[in-house]
Structure 1
Amino acid sequence: MDRVERGVVRHGVRLMVRDYGGSGSPVVMLHGLAGHSGEWDTTAGWLRERHRVLAFDQRAHGASERRPADVSRAAYVADVVTIIDELELGEAVLIGQSLGGHTAMLAAAARPDLVQALVLVEAGPGNPDADLPNAIRSWLASWPVPFGSQDAAIEFFGGGPVGSGWAAALEERQDGWWPRFEPELMVRSVVELSRRSFWPEWRQVSCPTLVVLAESGFFSADAAREIARDRPNTTMVTVPGAGHDVHLERPEAVRAAVAEFLQGLGGNRSGRGVGRNVRSRSGIQSETHTCEKLGQ
């Protein structure tokens, strides 16, 4: 896919941005922990028909600064703000998956003047989890690096589009294929998530918001209801038969949900829903929660 690679520097940390072009209101896409901007190539292909589309390797990931000193939530958020400012995007739509969605949410809460709308894919405010850093450390330690080939990596990551998406993040060295990140920095990136919740920031989000969850993802039905209950004017979509990497596994379903949401923005800057439960053309279940629906 045609794109321009741009470098943006903040406090000595270089961030590599994929500018897919397109015209219209800007969209900035954020990948998850241990991911890379290329995960959004398919999404960018259709989004740029109506939007200017960008994605970037977040700090400590991919082609961006590999070993930044600061991997706090605040640093990740400040990078988003810097990219919007430096590239003179004005108000942007933020789309983020997993940790990238969490970063997008915090950016929307902190700088509502820069965020037109928010799309969270398998992401939410979260609750403290003291085991999270060790779980991430153990997960990364299970990777049989270096992989002997990209095909071996694709198989390890489950095959299909999900396996291919993860394998595409690897770099080839003389002895095999390696991740483009330092495992311990991935662990440090989730330390704050393990210590506190971010529900206050979620309540501060004022822009229209879509939350896309997977039927077999990281969020239970109870967690989804809690997200909607805490900020009622939120459109919730659940994609059946998909896991946490739903943007890779079911890109057509994510496209249907995001396209419908963006087309429905119009002049709606307040984030108010319309109180509906519908089954869209893609077969995904969509709910727009309102205060009345939740009895508030």
Structure 2
Amino acid sequence: MPRTPPTAARTTVRAGTTLSFTVAGTGPTVVLLHGLAGSSREFEPTMAGLMPGYRVAALDQRGHGRSTRRPADVSREAYVLDVVALIELLSPGEPVHLVGQSMGAHTAMLTAADRPDLVASLVLLECDAGPGERDQVAGLGRYFASWPVPFKDAQDARTFLGDSALASAWLADLEQRPDGLWPRFDPDIMAACMVPVTAPRWHEWQSVAAPTLVLYGEHGMFTERQKAEFITARPGTRRVDIPGAGHDAHLENFPAWIRALREFLECAQHPSRVGAVELPPLAAGTADP
């Protein structure tokens, strides 16, 4: 992975909720949104991989990272308004390239649907329009509540979390307190913010106007049927599958992820050069105009 760019955390406040974000680079603005229980820190390699050439911002979504830990509102609308506020702060009058993974991809999709004037292009990693089921939400809450925190030290945390790419991201983001290491999220907030994500959002997905790339990990959380249904529901959507990766493909196969992202952004900025830029092969089920 590329070296992490020099960044400093900044904050803004919307409706009483503090939002922390990092920004670096110059050029067209790209905004990155992490998934559930993640933070902007996991996108530092992506920020570096997009520079030079782009100004890249990564947001700690509410309830995550260094943003307000226990926000009063965890509705999808609140998350969308947070992103709108960040875009209007960083890129007034100029639409941005909006990128999200998992829950962050869902937020990005809804933002693009609600505010097409703010989104020049959209990239969704491991996303669908909402499964309509809440079974997994309770399981996620129980899993995060099972963490034996505080962890005594990094090795203690590693022993419990394991050595996956996602575990490494969680480990790097733990907060040091006098009694040990703690995650930068609360389990009940994670479960609560996921409940609205399960609501079907097919109308919003189909109303997205921006050029859109959807990426899936070869071993991600969605079935081939779910992937195909999502892609074909919105004609013109490009699909790329990342080999050897799961739900956190941006961490598990970074070279394939950053290549697909950079090439799509290049085409989104210069549509006339589509034939001159080598896009990743489109997977079966991709819908083109």
Q: TM-score, normalised by structure 2?
A: 0.91
Indicate whether 1:97 and 2:95 are aligned: no
> CA shift at 1:17, angstroms?
1.0
Residue 66 of structure 1: aligned partner:
69
Runs of 4 or more consecutive aligned structure 1 residues displaced over 4 Å after TM superposition = 284-288
> CA shift at 1:154, angstroms?
3.3
1: CA distance between counterparts of 2:202 and 2:159?
37
1:211/1:178 CA distance change after superposition, 3 Å:
same
1:262/1:35 CA distance change after superposition, 3 Å:
same
Spell out the pairing of 1:40-189 with structure 2 (5 A cutoff): 40-89=43-92, 90-189=94-193
More divergent stretch after superposition (155-164 vs 204-213):
155-164
Which structure dedicates a bigger proportion of its chain to helix?
A: 2
> CA shift at 1:42, angstroms?
0.4
Which residues of structure 2 form unaligned runs of 5+?
A: none
2: CA distance between counterparts of 1:287 and 1:152?
44
> CA shift at 1:191, angstroms?
1.4
2: CA distance between counterparts of 1:134 and 1:140?
10
2: CA distance between counterparts of 1:65 and 1:26?
24
Is the 2:231–2:285 contact (alpha carbons within 8 Å) kept by the matching residues of 1? no
> CA shift at 1:229, angstroms?
1.0
1:35 corresponds to which of 29, 33, 38: 38
Alpha-carbon displacement from aligned partner over 1:88-133 (angstroms, at most 9, x marks no partner): 3521111111100100000000000000011111112122113133
Alpha-carbon displacement from aligned partner over 1:209-258 (angstroms, at most 9, x marks no partner): 11110111111111110011101211111112111111111111101111
2: CA distance between counterparts of 1:93 and 1:136?
30
Aligned residue for 1:211, secondary structure, equals strand
Letter in 2 for 1:169: D
> CA shift at 1:144, angstroms?
2.3
1: CA distance between counterparts of 2:164 and 2:155?
11
1: CA distance between counterparts of 2:120 and 2:47?
18
Is the 1:118–1:208 contact (alpha carbons within 8 Å) kept by the matching residues of 2? yes
- Identity among equivalent pairs (%): 44
Is the 2:238–2:288 contact (alpha carbons within 8 Å) kept by the matching residues of 1? no
Is the 1:30–1:100 contact (alpha carbons within 8 Å) kept by the matching residues of 2? yes
1:3 corresponds to which of 2, 7, 10: 7
2: CA distance between counterparts of 1:151 and 1:81?
39
Which residues of structure 1 form unaligned runs of 5+?
A: 292-296
Aligned residue for 1:265, secondary structure, equals helix
Letter in 2 for 1:114: L
* Aligned residue-pair number: 281
Residue 225 of structure 1: aligned partner:
228
2: CA distance between counterparts of 1:259 and 1:241?
20
2: CA distance between counterparts of 1:172 and 1:85?
33
Cα RMSD, aligned residues only: 2.2
Spell out the pairing of 1:266-277 with structure 2 (5 A cutoff): 266-268=269-271
